[in-house]
């Protein structure tokens, strides 16, 4: 057994983060996985976060992780398909932008005022110079 109960360790290094996957054993003999993220704050200090998953719970943990990865992959494919469709529609329109007019019920509130979402701000200095 290694230092602090480490049985196995592997590291994944990215641009500004490192991930450590540590398999450890505690004093009572329980084996667990510790995932540590180490992120460089300003080049000198490191911000570290860790999660621990015990052997009894690993199957449930990995099932949840696998479901999340499956969702991410499915979502990525759907987004790339939608982007390809938008690109095809844009090229079919001859590169011209197509603007859609908002529906009347979205454009007007119950008070009858047309809202554009733009705000016009007049400077107090500008007002005093005009007066």
Q: What is the pLDDT of residue 131?
A: 58
Taken in order 120, 126, 127, 130, is the CA torsion positive or negative?
negative
pLDDT in tens, the chain (131 residues): 566 789 999 999 998 899 999 999 998 989 999 999 999 887 778 899 999 999 999 999 999 999 999 999 999 999 999 999 988 888 877 756 666 666 655 555 566 666 666 665 656 665 555 55
For residue 102, what are its two tokens?
């908002």
Domains of the chain, earliest start first = 6-91 (3.10.450.700)
């Amino acid at each position: 057994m290694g230092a602090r109960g480490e049985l196995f360790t592997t590291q994944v290094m990215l641009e500004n983060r490192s991930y450590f996957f540590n398999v450890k054993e505690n004093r009572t003999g329980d084996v667990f996985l510790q995932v540590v993220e180490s992120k460089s704050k300003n080049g000198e200090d490191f911000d570290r976060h860790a999660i621990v998953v015990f052997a009894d719970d690993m199957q449930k943990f990995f099932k949840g992780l696998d479901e999340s990865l499956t969702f991410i992959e499915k979502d990525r494919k759907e987004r790339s398909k939608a982007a390809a469709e938008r690109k095809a529609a844009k090229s079919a329109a001859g590169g011209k932008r197509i603007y859609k007019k908002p529906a009347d019920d979205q454009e007007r509130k119950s008070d009858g005022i047309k809202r554009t979402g733009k705000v016009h701000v007049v400077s107090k200095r500008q007002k005093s110079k005009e007066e």
